[in-house]
Structure 1
């Protein structure tokens, strides 16, 4: 029987009554499907419904075969051994017991036919770049990114027919992502992946676009989807222009008809008043004229209503994923101007910059490397949030830092109030006018920061920093595309196109980095900062330098 996943008349609402799906019909067959949509459209909720983690309020989910689900955020117990995470601990223990001479029937029942379970487990770990971990290590000894790959390894070992992945690359570095891409590319069954990772989505056989509770499919990967969407949007915008012209024409015709009818009415009144025609004839003509005028008016009003309805439908077809269009002239840095100097710098966790590293003019530097290499620590040291252990980091222009946590915003203040904190001399009108360019128009600027969606919060934090006074001429961004939907990434790219200062961005998202005009690539590896190129970063088998785990910095390490 062919593997498949089918939803029929699927409905779901949150406990407060907010609807997410109402009668959704969708089916996924063999192959790779990328599920995309703006933040809050219900992608993760749909995966949970498909996986059985949530119960629908109506409709059914039917799965042919076994299902495997990798959620976006799951914390594993730090004392769990790797073989326990992989789900093979009991079989492995039975195997070792038999090898030691214990031939109890229970051991054979535990193993079943899976006598090569250890070899398969080690091979799967090796395919995902985790061969160095072994089966007896504990979760507390591996990094966050490695724990994501461990959970994927557990699913691969189970060999489910249907695999559901929710933002699997969020916490993975460049090299771990390459491993995951290879696993996805080789997947033989049904695979549905929610992601904002362009490279991962380009491996898909089709893109399923979730919008307003409905799914529209597009053949090919994400690049083909973008091309098809661009053609659709061009046609939709053309239809809006045609519909707008029709509304204007119908308004003119209605207005002209009303003028003509008013003239006829005045003429009829004049004839009646003159007494040149018998009263009975004048009355009959007046009644006929009124009846004709009423029909005429109703006809034009109906035509206008139809034209407006067509316009509404045309507007509905145009996506409102607006781009940020802003001018930031005061962020400009002249070529050759000294912006940042790092001299024999040693950071809190041991990363270092030997000699002198200068950033001059409007350079755009990509800071890349494995998780845990020290990129965030370096940015925080440059921003003055962490003291240097040795050497110094000197900034020569106004600087702003956007951390991953987006904690530059006060949750109890509105978007406008947050921006005003960074530009205290700006008038309220000026703040709001500039916020409108960041898509916070009217009442949206009065929303409290704590109520914003992920994409809105990022946009508000970016606006607060970019609109700050004095204008930032050096901008530090730490993993800015993490957890952003595609529309938000496009908005970020648009804003950075308008930014004319120097930029240092720590990111694992190579397509994003290449789209924003990076002029210099620096690799943080083995505690050192060295020049690199995008091509050198593509190798998933690049060896891990001594002392680098591939994971995040320990939270309890002293600064």
Structure 2
């Protein structure tokens, strides 16, 4: 039997009652399926429901076959051995014990038929491009991209039939992405991928668009999806134009009908006043005219109502994406102003860095996973001490880290921002948050319930609305988790940012879109 995912009338709401999915029916069969949608539409929640991490409040979720799940945010203990993270430490200890002469049944049971687990693990790590010594390392020694690769290796070691991937290219450098693409291209089971990576979506057999709690499927990869949506929207826009024209015509016909009835009423009254018509005949004519007018109005009212229904139906097929505009505060750094200076700086990774920044430069920090890009940003922000030398920042600095761990999970978005701007009134905080699309009750949403893209916007808001606002902005893989509209909004927002900018990332398109002045390769 082929592996499949089936959801029947699935509903889910957060503990505070906020609905995410209502009566969702979904069938995912063999092959590679992508899932896209606006941030907060429920994509990650849907994967967690399929994986069994969340329980639906209604309906049923069924998966045929062994399931593997790579979450968007991988939980790990910093000093955990890699073998333990992969789930093979106990088996390896048992193999070593048996090889050393142990006949303990517990060791034999632990090994089972997994005598080749170390070779398989090494092969998976190599397949994904991780260093040869990875099995001997601890998770704290890995970069964000390497953690993602390691998480995928752990899933693949379990030999799943159904594979769920949530934003799997986050933090991956170009080489690691190519390795992931190879895994995707060679997959023969059932795969469901949540991603906004256009190159990854191009490899899908079909793409589902999660919108307003429903999934609409489109055959083919990203280019085919875009073309189909564009054709649908062109047809929908034409249908709306036609329906609006019809509605205007029906309204005009209805008005003309009232004019005709008014003329008839005036003519009837004139004839009655002229006399010569018996009262009984006059009354009969009046009743007949009223019945005729009522039927006449009913015909036109029904036509008008039908025209309104056709317009409503046509407009329902239009995709009305929210216009996202993130306005940044005044953060001007004058040209030539000294922003950052380093002196014989050596990072904890052992990398020597010579970096001088003058405003308002835009600098990309590039290099493979593990080169020290995140370490550099954390050092410049004062979160890490260097192994040697100094880094001096001459303006207020703000860091948006890769893991977006700057917010208190138990507080709301508004409460987090208020902590960083203690002199601002509640009204001022909420007004500023509205610029980041946290309007009304959205500002009262608990951080723990935010989607990846919403968390990004909330973290960016907390960073930029702090007092004082940063004049040097450090962004670590800022396009992770962003839907297409939020990506465009971030590019637009940074176009108006007047401070200096240092971006660590592998998204060449984003770096080009924000107008990088120069690159520092580690």
**Cα distance change on mapping 1:18 and 1:51 into 2, 3 Å:** same
Q: State the partner residue of 2:481.
A: 483
Q: State the partner residue of 1:199.
A: 199
Deviations 1:190-222 (A, max 9, x none): 111112333332332221111222211112222
Q: State the partner residue of 2:445.
A: 451
Q: Which of 400, 403, 408 is equivalent to 1:403?
A: 400
Name the SS of the counterpart of 1:68 in structure 2. Answer: strand
**Cα distance change on mapping 1:368 and 1:141 into 2, 3 Å:** closer
Q: State the partner residue of 1:548.
A: none
Q: State the partner residue of 2:44.
A: 44
**Structure-to-structure mapping, 1:422-441, within 5 angstroms:** none
Name the SS of the counterpart of 1:135 in structure 2. Answer: helix
Q: CA deviation at 1:290?
A: 1.4
Aligned mates of 2:123, 2:502 — CA distance in 1: 39
**Cα distance change on mapping 1:478 and 1:160 into 2, 3 Å:** closer
**Cα distance change on mapping 1:299 and 1:520 into 2, 3 Å:** farther
**Structure-to-structure mapping, 1:193-232, within 5 angstroms:** 193-232=193-232
1:35–1:192 contact (8 Å) kept in structure 2: yes
Q: CA deviation at 1:162?
A: 1.0
Q: Is 1:280 the counterpart of 2:280 in the alignment? A: yes
Deviations 1:162-182 (A, max 9, x none): 111222333445554443333
Q: Structure 1 residues 60-69 or 131-140, which shifts more?
A: 131-140
Q: Is 1:291 the counterpart of 2:291 in the alignment? A: yes
Q: CA deviation at 1:161?
A: 0.9
Unaligned segments of structure 1, at least 5 residues = 526-559
Aligned mates of 1:382, 1:107 — CA distance in 2: 49
1:326–1:498 contact (8 Å) kept in structure 2: no
Deviations 1:472-506 (A, max 9, x none): 99866443323322332233334456778875433
Aligned mates of 1:464, 1:111 — CA distance in 2: 50
Q: CA deviation at 1:347?
A: 6.3
Q: Is 1:520 the counterpart of 2:514 in the alignment? A: no
**Cα distance change on mapping 1:279 and 1:333 into 2, 3 Å:** farther
Q: Structure 1 residues 7-16 or 38-47, which shifts more?
A: 7-16
Q: State the partner residue of 1:147.
A: 147
Q: State the partner residue of 2:160.
A: 160
Q: State the partner residue of 1:84.
A: 84
**Structure-to-structure mapping, 1:168-183, within 5 angstroms:** 168-183=168-183
Say how many residue pairs are matched: 508
Aligned mates of 1:129, 1:302 — CA distance in 2: 67
1:10–1:61 contact (8 Å) kept in structure 2: yes
Aligned mates of 1:344, 1:48 — CA distance in 2: 44
Q: CA deviation at 1:448?
A: 6.3
Aligned mates of 2:87, 2:375 — CA distance in 1: 36
Q: CA deviation at 1:105?
A: 5.5
Q: Structure 1 residues 106-115 or 457-466, which shifts more?
A: 457-466
**Structure-to-structure mapping, 1:333-344, within 5 angstroms:** 337-338=335-336, 342-344=340-342
Q: State the partner residue of 2:64.
A: 64
1:120–1:157 contact (8 Å) kept in structure 2: yes
**Cα distance change on mapping 1:376 and 1:246 into 2, 3 Å:** farther
2:346–2:352 contact (8 Å) kept in structure 1: no
**Cα distance change on mapping 1:390 and 1:476 into 2, 3 Å:** closer
Q: State the partner residue of 1:554.
A: none
**Structure-to-structure mapping, 1:408-557, within 5 angstroms:** 445-447=439-441, 449-451=443-445, 455=453, 477-496=475-494, 504-523=502-521, 525=522
Unaligned segments of structure 2, at least 5 residues = none
Aligned mates of 2:87, 2:187 — CA distance in 1: 20
Computed over aligned residues only, the root mean square deviation of the Cα atoms, in angstroms, reads 4.5
Q: Structure 1 residues 399-408 or 39-48, which shifts more?
A: 399-408
Q: CA deviation at 1:461?
A: 7.7
Deviations 1:68-113 (A, max 9, x none): 1222334234454332332333432333233223345654454344
**Cα distance change on mapping 1:379 and 1:238 into 2, 3 Å:** farther
Q: Structure 1 residues 164-173 or 224-233, which shifts more?
A: 164-173
**Cα distance change on mapping 1:250 and 1:23 into 2, 3 Å:** same
Aligned mates of 1:139, 1:459 — CA distance in 2: 28
Aligned mates of 1:345, 1:216 — CA distance in 2: 56
2:10–2:23 contact (8 Å) kept in structure 1: yes
Q: TM-score, normalised to structure 2's length?
A: 0.78
Name the SS of the counterpart of 2:130 in structure 1. Answer: coil
Aligned mates of 1:16, 1:24 — CA distance in 2: 20
2:358–2:500 contact (8 Å) kept in structure 1: no
Aligned mates of 2:468, 2:288 — CA distance in 1: 73
Aligned mates of 2:345, 2:272 — CA distance in 1: 98
Q: TM-score, normalised to structure 1's length?
A: 0.74
Q: State the partner residue of 1:126.
A: 126
Q: CA deviation at 1:122?
A: 1.2
2:97–2:107 contact (8 Å) kept in structure 1: yes
Aligned mates of 1:521, 1:39 — CA distance in 2: 30
Q: Structure 1 residues 342-351 or 24-33, which shifts more?
A: 342-351
Aligned mates of 2:493, 2:272 — CA distance in 1: 69
**Cα distance change on mapping 1:343 and 1:89 into 2, 3 Å:** closer
